Structure 1
Amino acid sequence: MFDVDVYLHKLGHTGSREPSLALLNELQKRHLTAIPFDNALNADAERGFDVLLEVEIDDDAVFKAVVEGGRGGVCYELNGLFRRLLTELGFDVRILAAAVIQVNGAYGPELEHIFNCVELGGERYLVDVGLAGPSYLEPLRLTDEVQEQYGCQYRLVEEDGYHVLQRRAKGGEWSASYRFKDQYRRISDWRELVPDIAEFPLEQVLIGTRIHSRAFDNGQMVLIGKRYLRVVDGVEEIKVLTSPSAFKQVVRQILTPDA
């Protein structure tokens, strides 16, 4: 059963539970550090876009598997659980959806990615613990100002009616992560998009590719296929893991935070 005490223990939080920006920042980062993104159960290419429609989760079952059982999860599982936790703690949480940038530079289908928005103290914050990465480790204020976290910069730019989230590592150029409309969503919205999603070219998204990622105190590890990205204080290092032993070591390091 979903249990706030067990969840917070998993995240290592022992302080105040009063809704605040400090708590929100801490919980998002702790979540990304403690619970990895892992699409191993959802990377079957034969299932096609079915994996994009399974956004309505059984909180208790996913809680048992992820928080108690120790496995990772994907966006609708991780952000769904986190949305429940924040709601239980008294935060005002809404649902947002995004199209993620693909390897060919195009955006994926609408509502491909589900994440959260928290309204707090007259501001709105993007809250996301379910993006493979590289991603923002703490919530981002919904503003056009440049925001910096752990050596990386983030900004939101307007483009064709969308907010485009862009990221820049140290010494790098701005690049898009995903785009979204400033429109709160309902879980039922995903089922209404079945025809649109079915028509989207499957080869343009990363379905069928294993993706694992996890944050640490000042950065993040992201493994897409055999391409390994490690970010430390905003500095990126990219390797292609051709050695089976090196590949297994990185997977183990990402999926077992206490190893």
Structure 2
Amino acid sequence: MFDVDTYLTKLGYSGPRAATLETLRDLHKRHLMAIPFDNSLNADAERGFDVLLEVDIDDDATFRAVVEGGRGGVCYELNGLFRRLLQELGFDVKILAGAVIQVNGEFGPELEHIFSCVEIDGEVWLADVGLAGPSYLEPLRVSDEIQEQYGCQYRLVEEDGYRVLQRRSRGAEWSNSYRFKLQYREITDWKQLVPDIAEFPLEQVLIGTRIHSRAFDNGQMVLIGKRYLRVEDGKEEIKVLARPAVFREVVSQILTPGV
């Protein structure tokens, strides 16, 4: 059964529960550090895009598996649970849809990614604990300004009627993460995903590729297949983990917080 106290204990949070920006920032980062992104259950290529249609999660069942059971999850699970937590704490939370940048440099279907935004004191903040990454560790303000977090910069640019989230690590160029419209969604909107993906090449969205990621205090670890990206204080290091023992060690580090 979904329980706020158990959830906050999982995140290691014992601070104020008021619906403030400070609380949101703390919970967002703690969530990314405590609960990994892990698509192991959904990486079966035969299922194709079926996993993208399961956004209407059973909160209690997902809570038992992720928060109590210790496994990771994907965007609709992690952001769905986080959305419920924020609502229980009194935050004004809305659902957003995003199209993630693909391996060919193009954006995927418009409803491919589900995340949230939170309105606080008249400002809108993006909250996303369900993107493999690398991504923002704390909420981002919806504005034109460049925002820096732990050595990385983020900005939202207008392009073809969308807001495009861009990220830049130290010494690198701006790169696209995903695009979205500031259009509040309902879970039922995801029924439209079926025709949207009918002609979309599955290989472009890494179906069948295992993806694991988790944040730490000043960065993030992202493993896509055997390609390992570690970001620390804005500095990126990329390796291909060819040795099985090293690969298993990195998977363990990501999926077991505290290791």
TM interval, short-chain normalised: over 0.9
Is the partner of 2:41 in helix, strand or coil?
A: coil
Amino acid at match of 1:3: D
Deviations 1:214-259 (A, max 9, x none): 0000000000000000000000000000000000000000000022
CA distance in 2, matches of 1:21, 1:153: 20
Aligned to 1:82: 82
Q: Is the 8 A contact 1:36 1:214 kept in 2?
A: yes
Aligned to 2:2: 2
Aligned to 1:207: 207
> Any unmatched runs of 5+ in structure 2?
none
1:157 lines up with 2:157 in the alignment: yes
Amino acid at match of 2:105: G
CA distance in 2, matches of 1:119, 1:15: 21
> Any unmatched runs of 5+ in structure 1?
none
1:244 lines up with 2:238 in the alignment: no
1:185 lines up with 2:185 in the alignment: yes
Aligned to 1:234: 234
How many residues are treated as equivalent by the alignment? 259
How far is 1:110 from its partner? 1.2
- CA RMSD in angstroms, aligned pairs only: 0.6
Q: Is the 8 A contact 2:109 2:193 kept in 1?
A: no
Is the partner of 1:193 in helix, strand or coil?
A: helix
Aligned to 1:218: 218
How far is 1:201 from its partner? 1.5
CA distance in 2, matches of 1:23, 1:55: 26
Q: Is the 8 A contact 2:146 2:154 kept in 1?
A: yes
CA distance in 2, matches of 1:204, 1:193: 16
How far is 1:203 from its partner? 1.6
Point out the more displaced range, 103-112 or 247-256: 103-112
Is the partner of 1:51 in helix, strand or coil?
A: helix
Q: Is the 8 A contact 1:127 1:140 kept in 2?
A: yes
Runs of 4+ deviating beyond 3 Å: none
Amino acid at match of 2:91: F
Aligned to 1:132: 132
Amino acid at match of 1:148: E
CA distance in 1, matches of 2:181, 2:201: 22
CA distance in 1, matches of 2:184, 2:33: 27
Percent identical pairs in the alignment equals 80
Q: Is the 8 A contact 2:169 2:235 kept in 1?
A: yes
Q: Is the 8 A contact 1:49 1:198 kept in 2?
A: no
How far is 1:92 from its partner? 0.1
CA distance in 1, matches of 2:6, 2:238: 36
Aligned to 2:108: 108
How far is 1:198 from its partner? 2.0
Is the partner of 1:250 in helix, strand or coil?
A: helix
Amino acid at match of 1:91: F
CA distance in 2, matches of 1:14, 1:88: 16
* TM-score, normalised by the number of residues in structure 2: 0.99
How far is 1:204 from its partner? 1.3
1:121 lines up with 2:118 in the alignment: no
Aligned to 1:43: 43
CA distance in 2, matches of 1:159, 1:169: 21
* TM-score, normalised by the number of residues in structure 1: 0.99
How far is 1:199 from its partner? 2.0
Q: Is the 8 A contact 1:99 1:107 kept in 2?
A: yes
CA distance in 2, matches of 1:193, 1:113: 11
CA distance in 2, matches of 1:165, 1:82: 21
Deviations 1:88-136 (A, max 9, x none): 0000000001000011101111110000000001100000000000000
